[in-house]
Amino acid sequence: MGVNNEILFTMKHNMKRLIFFLPSLVYYAAIFILSSRSYQVNVGILFFDKMIHLIEFAVLGFLLSLGFFILKTSFKCKFIWVFCTGSLLAVLDEFHQFFVPSRTMDVLDMAADIAGIAAGFFVFVLFCKKVKWIHF
């Protein structure tokens, strides 16, 4: 009976983790689908595409933070997990675009993506402090 309760507790705990990571998984799937399209929009504003990359990945950084903040690790460790995971996803997104017709892999886009991940993390921290959701 004790073993079954322990298994049930572990399953519930893993489900809770999955629920907190689900928004970032769905959002990254949307990024992947959108970056699979062959067309690019040119609005004529200097560095507009870099701003879009930064904002797009700031949202991802915020959502990844939601998932990683339930882990019982230090603040620094959580930042490293969010930053490394988000950076890997940014690199994968740009690498993926190398294979999409009329798209290119751009190091500056990747840099904007990674900056967005860090920005999203810090926006998440400020949000949590404001609503007193997570104590640091």
Compute the distance between CA of residue 134 and CA of residue 43 in angstroms, rounded to an integer: 40
pLDDT at 84: 98
Quickly list H helices, 35-106: 48-68, 75-97
Report the Cα 86 to chain-centroid distance in Å. 5
Task: Indicate whether 52 pLDDT > 80.
Answer: yes
Question: Scanning the structure block, which residue is given the tokens 């993926």?
Answer: 96
What percent of the chain lies above the pLDDT cut of 90? 54
**Average per-residue pLDDT for the chain:** 87
Compute the distance between CA of residue 84 and CA of residue 115 in angstroms, rounded to an integer: 12
Task: Indicate whether 42 pLDDT > 60.
Answer: yes
Global confidence as pTM? 0.85
Q: What is the mean pLDDT of residues 31-51?
A: 82
